[in-house]
Chain A
Amino acid sequence: MLERNHIQTSGFSNIGPEGNRTGFRVRLRQPNYRGTRVSLLEGIDVTVDGERYPSQENRFLIDGREYGHADLDTLIDVRWPVGTTVDVLIDKPGGLEPGVHLVETVVLYRHPYFPPQFRPVPVPDSRHATIVL
């Protein structure tokens, strides 16, 4: 079972060897009530301690494969099921300091059954989450 927040604290971690971190990951559970094909996902913006990491610069680990922001629109047969996670991979030399951070995310969803003026709809979440090391 995953945590209630969209943002998971388990999985929030630095990338790269200790002493030579290259970035960090933010793990999100599927925030929608149904699983969705990834082409309906128009991006995931991340902010940590006030610093913004826009979707265009992020990479995404979906079902074991890594994709760039521009790939999302092409993934009509890759799905993000309910009860599973996607990792947003963010470049940041040195990574994040171990400790508690304020993490904010906005998942942009295009719901074809929403009126056109509400596509995409931003789905926000925020919480404190901890980098252990």
Chain B
Amino acid sequence: MSGSFKYGVSLYSYTDDFGTVMGLEDAFYHVAEASATGIEILGEAHVEGYPEPSSAWLDRWFSLVEKYRLEPTNYACWIDTDIQKRRDIGVEEAAAQLTLDLNLAKRLGFKFIRPKFGVIDDELTPHPVWEGATERVLDLAAKLDISIIPEIHAPTPIRHPVVEAYIDFIQRTGTRHFGLLIDTGIFQDRPLPSWQHETPEMRELRSGAMSFLDGIKVPVEQLAEVIDYTPFIQAKFHHIDEDLHDHNIPWEKVVPMLKSLGYTGYLSSEYEGVRDPWVAIEQVRRQHALIRKLEREYDQQHAAPAAVEA
């Protein structure tokens, strides 16, 4: 048996609960109780006082990490490219934002940051400042030993110029501190009945720009083409029923593929479904139960045959 997955939870899963029925310690508790070992946060959501948390808050953060024995995994941040209605930021401003988040992520003990750059089209092509800004902070990332991992997120598939540009960047710079974060939403193969960010205008475009909500159905085999550049996976999902059946993401294909590719990084839950109070807590637990079950089954099928007794 090769290595196993690491299990984490992004606090994004608890959106709308956080701040209304859930505080930071509650969130740590629920992640730890799901037997996860990693915690992922959004800097500009879960760090009180972002971008300059107080020393009291920092003390609290470290005490929670220790009390619940959770490893800070990925720290999500945003590069707000069209920062004003009629002004886009330049490379310098974008690099300054990345610098700020790299330093804060390091302070909190994270190993990865996921920058979400603004985009310029329906296929989520990042704003052109991404490349120059990222290159400027590569030395800092190396010094802090943090990897910068933009996400590959529906409707962007694996075989796409956005992914090619990121891989070209890695090859050109030779950096070991830049990679891809795969969001498992790209494997969604059945439609979402609704999406929390969807407006009536978007709904009318289900046959056009918003058709990705029906699933872009990237074949899981294509993971082989990017797995070497993928140190972290966000396990996006929307609904898992009482029979541990996921209504949108084909885990029964995703898990064996990741196992066969030898992936041993994190699967960090990103629940993005119904936002009624406390639903996310149960949904995350179901997802972990489901993926752990599939991982066990794979391991059993691929275990070395037991020695036959004479």
0 or 1 for each of A99-116: is its CB under 8 Å from B? (1 = yes)? 000000000001011111
User: Count the B residues whose beta carbon is within 8 Å of the partner chain — how many?
Assistant: 38
Docked CA distance A121–B205 (Å) = 14
Are B45 and A29 in contact, with the CB atoms below 8 A? no
Docked CA distance A79–B100 (Å) = 15
Given contacts A76-B83, A113-B118, is CB(A35)–CB(B21) below 8 Å? no
Q: Does A13 contact B (CB under 8 A)?
A: no
Chain B CB count within 10 A is highest, among A3, A37, A112, for A112
Docked CA distance A45–B20 (Å) = 23
Are B116 and A113 in contact, with the CB atoms below 8 A? yes
Say what secondary structure dominates the interface of chain B.
loop
Say what secondary structure dominates the interface of chain A.
loop
Size band of the interface chain A makes with B: 20 to 34
Are B81 and A112 in contact, with the CB atoms below 8 A? yes
0 or 1 for each of A17-46: is its CB under 8 Å from B? (1 = yes)? 000000000000110011111011010000
Docked CA distance A81–B124 (Å) = 26
What's the least CB distance linking B125 to chain A, in Å? 10
Q: Does B143 contact A (CB under 8 A)?
A: no
Q: Does A94 contact B (CB under 8 A)?
A: no
Are A35 and B20 in contact, with the CB atoms below 8 A? no
- The 8 Å CB contact of B19, one of A2, A36, A79, is A2
Chain A CB count within 10 A is highest, among B16, B79, B81, B121, for B16
Chain B CB count within 10 A is highest, among A1, A82, A118, A119, for A82
- The 8 Å CB contact of B12, one of A33, A36, A79, A119, is A33
Question: Closest residue to B118 on the A side, CB-wise?
Answer: A112
* Given contact pairs A34-B78, A81-B44, A115-B122, a sample of 19 additional A-B residue pairs in the complex whose CB atoms are under 8 Å apart: A1-B19, A1-B23, A4-B20, A4-B21, A29-B20, A35-B45, A35-B50, A37-B83, A74-B84, A81-B45, A83-B18, A112-B79, A112-B127, A113-B116, A115-B119, A117-B122, A118-B201, A119-B82, A122-B199
